[in-house]
C-alpha cells in the first residue's frame, strides 16, 4: 500500500502512525526504499506503546496521539535523504590472550582462512589451564585436552603467534584498526632455537618457578613447562648471572644453534586488523588479604592453584599431595568462597570454585587416606554433569559443613588440637560454632578482573562493569559484543567462567567476527555528526567531549575535523558546540525543534 502510494501519488515524505520504531522502523524503511524513496524520508509516530497502551483516558490519549502524529509530520518536513555508508573490512583479526578462550577463537577464525594475530603476554600460550591437573566434572587431564590445541595454534598457517608481547595501542575504526604490539626480548632467537633444552640443563642458577607457584624451581633460562608453545626458552633478566654480574654465559657456550642473543631489544610492530577479540582472562584472588585465614604465615594453608601444582603429575612433588615437611596429611580442609561473595573483597560469585573444590576433595580422597572437610556456603553445581559429580563426591566419604570459615589458627585450645591447623566456622545447619583440627587447608580462591584490565579497557576504548570485568553490549542478547564496534570479549575477562563456557564464548566471538568479516563490508548508521566548517570557531570544546576520539583539531585551518567512521552518533558534541557548527544527521536541531513546536502548540 505504502509502495503503491509513493509510486502513484509521487509522495516525497512518509509518516506511519502505529507502533514503536524500535520494532518496525527498519521494515517500513525497507518498504519506502523499495518504492524508490530515500528511507530516511520516512518517519514513524509511536501511538501505541507510549500512548494508547498506557492509559484508559480516551480523551487525553487521543489528544496525545494527535500531538505525536503532528510532531512526526512537522519533523518529516526537515528529514533529509541520507546514504548508508559502507566501509570495507580488513579480514585480519587480533586475538588478545592465549588461554583456552583465545586459542579456541583463534583456531576457529584461522580455520575459516582468515589471518589471526594471537598476542600473549606470557612466554607460552595455554593460560591457567596449563597449570591444572584434572578438570571437573569429567576428570580428564587438562594437558591431554589442551596441548594438542596449543600445537595446532603453533602449526596453523593462518595464525601469527606473538608471545611475551602485549598490545600497547589500538587505533582506527571498525574494519580498519591498527594494533601496536610490544614484543619483549626473550634473549633467545626464536628462529634459530630448536627447543633442545640444553641451555636449561646447563644453566647454573635455579630460582623459584612462578609456574609452580614457587613450590618448585626453574633455571634463569627457562620454559615455564616442557610443552610450552612456542618451545623456546626465555632468559629471566632479573636473575641471569650475565645480566646481574656480567659473568657465566654458559648457555651461549652450549647452545648448538647460536640462538642466545643478549643484545635483543624490545621491539614494536604494527599490524592492520579489522576486528579484535579480547580474551585476557582473570587474576586469582590474593588469599593473604584475608588475614584471619593465615595464608602466607601458616605454612600448610595453601591456595587451590598451589594444590593443582602439588597434585599435578609433572609438578614439583610429582603429584604427591604432601605437607611442607614432606609428610602426608591425615586431614584436609577445603574452604569455599575465599574472596568471593564477600562484601569486604568481591561481591560476585566466582562460579568455578564449588566445582573445583569438589574436584580437590575427590583428588585428596583418591590419592591419600586423609579425612576431608569441605566448608561451603551454598553448593552451586549448575552445569552439565556437575550435580552428578557433586553426588559422586558426596559418596566418597567427604564431610560437608555448611558455613563460612571465620578463622584458621594454629593456637590450640585442647590437646587434640596440638600441632594442627584449627578451622573455625559456624555450622549453619546445626547452629553451632565448630573447631575442626586438620593438617592442611586448601583455600578455594575466587576469580578477579586482571590488574591491567582498566589499562586494556582504555587502550581498546571499551567499558567495564562495576566489578571491574569487561562490559558486554547486552548481558543476554549480545554477551560477547562490546560498545566498541568490531571489538569483542570472550571468556573470564567478561566474568568468571569455567572451561566449557569460556570455550563456547571464544567460538561465539569468532562467529561474530566472521559474520561481518566474511561480508567484506559493514554498514554505518548515517545518524552521525557533521561539521559546518564555516561556523567552527576552533574552540576545541567538542574534542574533549567525544568519547570515541572522532574529533581532531586541524592546525592549518584552525578548525575541528570529524572522522565520520569513528562517530557513533551520540550527539554530545552537537549539544555542546557554542557556535552551532555541528549537526547530527536525522537529529538536526530543525527536526527536533519542529517536533517540540508541534507537541507544545
Helix extents (H) in 463-546 = 499-517, 541-545
Query: Residue 408's beta-bridge partner residues?
Result: 423
- Strand bridging mode 440-445 / 331-338: parallel
Least Å from the CB of residue 21 to another protein: 7
Nearer to another protein, 377 or 545 (CB): 545
Q: Does 600 bind another protein (CB under 8 A)?
A: yes
Burial code of 249-258, b = ≥16 C-beta within 10 A, e = fewer?
ebbeeebeee
**What is the C-alpha separation between 154 and 195, in angstroms, rounded?**
14
Q: Does 254 bind another protein (CB under 8 A)?
A: no
Q: Does 597 bind another protein (CB under 8 A)?
A: yes
Least Å from the CB of residue 173 to another protein: 15
- Contact pattern for another protein over residues 437 through 476, marking x by CB under 8 A: ------------------------x-x-xx----------
> Please, what sign has the CA dihedral across residues 590, 596, 597, 599?
positive
Q: Does 483 bind another protein (CB under 8 A)?
A: yes
Q: What is the largest CA-CA distance in the chain?
A: 100
Place of cell 609438578: 315
Q: Which 11-70 residues touch another protein, going by CB under 8 A?
A: 20-22, 46, 48-51, 53-57, 60-61, 64, 67-68
Q: Does 252 bind another protein (CB under 8 A)?
A: no
- Contact pattern for another protein over residues 498 through 537, marking x by CB under 8 A: -----------------------------x----------
Binding residue count for another protein, defined by CB under 8 A = 47
- H or E, element range at 45: strand 42-46
Nearer to another protein, 64 or 371 (CB): 64
- Contact pattern for another protein over residues 567 through 586, marking x by CB under 8 A: -xxxxx-xxx-------x--
Q: Does 545 bind another protein (CB under 8 A)?
A: yes
The order of strands in the sheet holding 116-119 is 159-162, 116-119, 93-96, 275-278, 487-489
Least Å from the CB of residue 49 to another protein: 3
Least Å from the CB of residue 54 to another protein: 5
One of 41, 71, 142, 332 touching another protein (CB under 8 A): 71
Least Å from the CB of residue 446 to another protein: 23
Nearest one of 53, 57, 46 to 24, comparing CA atoms: 46
C-alpha grid cell, residue 126: 595455554
Distance of CA 258 to the CA centre of its chain: 39
Q: Which 403-442 residues touch another protein, going by CB under 8 A?
A: none
Least Å from the CB of residue 601 to another protein: 6
> Please, what sign has the CA dihedral across residues 82, 83, 84, 89?
negative
- H or E, element range at 149: helix 142-155
Tally Cβ neighbours within 10 Å of residue 86: 13
Nearer to another protein, 236 or 583 (CB): 583
Place of cell 562495576: 466
Nearer to another protein, 25 or 330 (CB): 25
Least Å from the CB of residue 415 to another protein: 56
- H or E, element range at 61: helix 58-76
Least Å from the CB of residue 483 to another protein: 6
For the chain, give me the number of helices (H) and strands (E)? Answer: 16, 32
Q: Does 547 bind another protein (CB under 8 A)?
A: yes
Task: Name the site residues for another protein (rule: CB under 8 A).
Answer: 20-22, 46, 48-51, 53-57, 60-61, 64, 67-68, 71, 461, 463, 465-466, 483, 527, 545, 547-548, 568-572, 574-576, 584, 587, 589, 592-593, 595-597, 599-601
Amino acid at each position: 500500500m505504502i509502495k503503491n502510494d509513493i509510486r502513484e501519488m509521487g509522495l516525497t515524505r512518509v509518516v506511519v502512525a502505529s507502533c514503536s520504531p524500535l520494532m518496525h522502523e527498519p521494515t517500513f524503511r525497507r518498504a519506502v526504499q523499495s518504492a524508490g524513496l530515500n528511507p530516511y524520508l520516512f518517519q514513524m509516530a509511536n501511538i501505541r506503546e507510549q500512548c494508547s497502551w498506557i492509559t484508559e483516558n480516551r480523551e487525553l490519549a487521543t489528544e496525545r496521539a494527535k500531538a505525536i502524529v503532528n510532531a512526526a509530520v512537522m519533523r518529516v518536513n526537515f528529514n533529509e535523504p541520507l546514504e548508508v555508508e559502507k566501509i570495507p573490512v580488513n579480514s585480519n583479526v587480533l586475538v588478545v590472550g592465549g588461554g583456552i578462550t583465545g586459542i579456541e577463537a583463534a583456531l576457529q577464525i584461522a580455520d575459516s582462512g582468515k589471518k589471526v594475530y594471537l598476542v600473549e603476554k606470557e612466554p607460552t600460550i595455554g593460560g591457567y589451564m596449563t597449570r591444572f591437573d584434572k578438570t571437573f566434572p569429567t576428570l580428564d587431564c587438562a594437558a591431554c585436552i589442551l596441548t594438542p590445541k596449543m600445537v595446532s595454534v603453533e602449526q596453523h598457517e593462518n595464525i601469527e603467534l606473538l608471545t611475551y608481547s602485549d598490545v600497547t595501542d589500538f587505533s582506527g575504526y571498525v574494519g580498519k584498526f591498527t594494533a601496536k604490539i610490544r614484543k619483549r626480548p626473550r634473549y633467545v632467537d626464536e628462529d634459530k632455537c630448536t627447543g633442545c633444552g640444553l641451555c636449561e640443563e646447563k644453566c647454573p642458577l635455579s630460582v623459584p618457578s612462578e609456574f609452580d607457584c614457587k613450590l618448585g624451581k626453574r633455571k634463569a633460562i627457562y620454559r615455564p613447562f616442557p610443552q610450552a608453545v612456542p618451545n623456546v626458552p626465555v632468559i629471566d633478566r632479573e636473575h641471569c648471572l650475565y645480566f646481574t654480574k656480567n659473568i657465566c654465559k654458559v648457555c651461549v657456550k652450549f647452545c648448538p644453534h647460536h640462538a642466545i642473543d643478549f643484545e635483543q631489544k624490545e621491539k614494536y610492530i604494527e599490524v592492520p586488523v579489522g576486528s579484535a577479540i579480547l580474551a585476557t582472562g582473570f587474576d586469582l584472588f590474593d588469599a593473604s588479604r584475608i588475614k584471619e585465614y593465615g595464608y602466607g604465615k601458616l605454612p600448610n594453608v595453601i591456595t587451590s592453584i598451589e594444590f593443582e601444582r602439588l597434585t599435578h603429575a609433572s609438578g614439583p612433588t610429582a603429584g604427591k599431595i604432601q605437607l611442607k615437611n614432606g609428610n602426608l596429611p591425615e586431614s584436609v580442609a577445603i574452604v569455599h568462597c575465599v574472596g568471593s561473595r564477600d562484601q569486604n573483597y568481591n561481591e560476585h560469585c566466582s562460579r568455578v570454585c564449588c566445582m573445583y573444590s569438589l574436584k580437590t576433595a575427590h583428588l585428596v580422597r583418591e590419592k591419600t587416606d586423609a579425612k576431608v572437610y569441605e566448608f561451603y556456603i551454598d553448593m552451586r553445581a549448575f552445569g552439565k554433569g556437575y550435580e552428578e559429580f557433586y553426588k559422586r563426591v558426596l559418596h566418597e566419604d567427604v564431610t560437608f559443613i555448611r558455613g563460612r570459615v571465620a578463622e584458621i589458627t594454629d593456637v590450640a585450645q585442647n590437646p587434640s588440637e596440638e600441632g594442627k591447623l584449627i578451622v573455625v566456622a559456624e555450622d549453619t545447619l546445626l547452629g553451632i560454632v565448630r573447631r575442626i583440627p586438620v593438617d592442611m587447608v586448601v583455600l578455594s580462591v575466587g576469580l578477579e578482573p586482571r590488574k591491567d584490565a582498566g589499562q586494556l579497557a582504555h587502550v581498546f576504548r571499551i567499558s567495564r562493569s562495576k566489578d571491574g570485568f569487561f562490559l558486554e553490549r547486552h548481558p543476554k542478547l549480545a554477551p560477547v559484543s562490546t560498545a566498541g564496534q568490531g571489538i569483542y570479549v570472550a571468556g573470564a575477562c567478561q566474568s568468571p567462567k569455567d572451561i566449557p563456557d569460556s570455550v563456547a564464548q571464544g567460538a561465539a566471538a569468532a562467529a561474530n567476527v566472521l559474520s561481518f568479516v566474511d561480508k567484506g563490508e559493514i554498514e554505518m548508521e548515517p545518524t552521525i555528526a557533521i561539521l559546518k566548517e564555516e561556523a567552527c570557531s576552533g574552540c576545541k570544546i567538542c574534542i574533549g567531549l567525544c568519547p570515541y576520539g572522532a574529533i581532531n583539531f586541524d592546525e592549518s585551518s584552525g578548525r575541528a575535523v570529524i572522522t565520520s567512521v569513528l562517530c557513533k552518533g551520540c550527539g554530545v558534541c552537537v549539544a555542546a558546540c557554542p557556535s552551532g557548527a555541528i549537526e547530527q544527521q536525522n537529529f538536526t536541531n530543525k527536526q527536533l525543534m519542529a517536533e517540540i513546536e508541534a507537541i507544545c502548540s
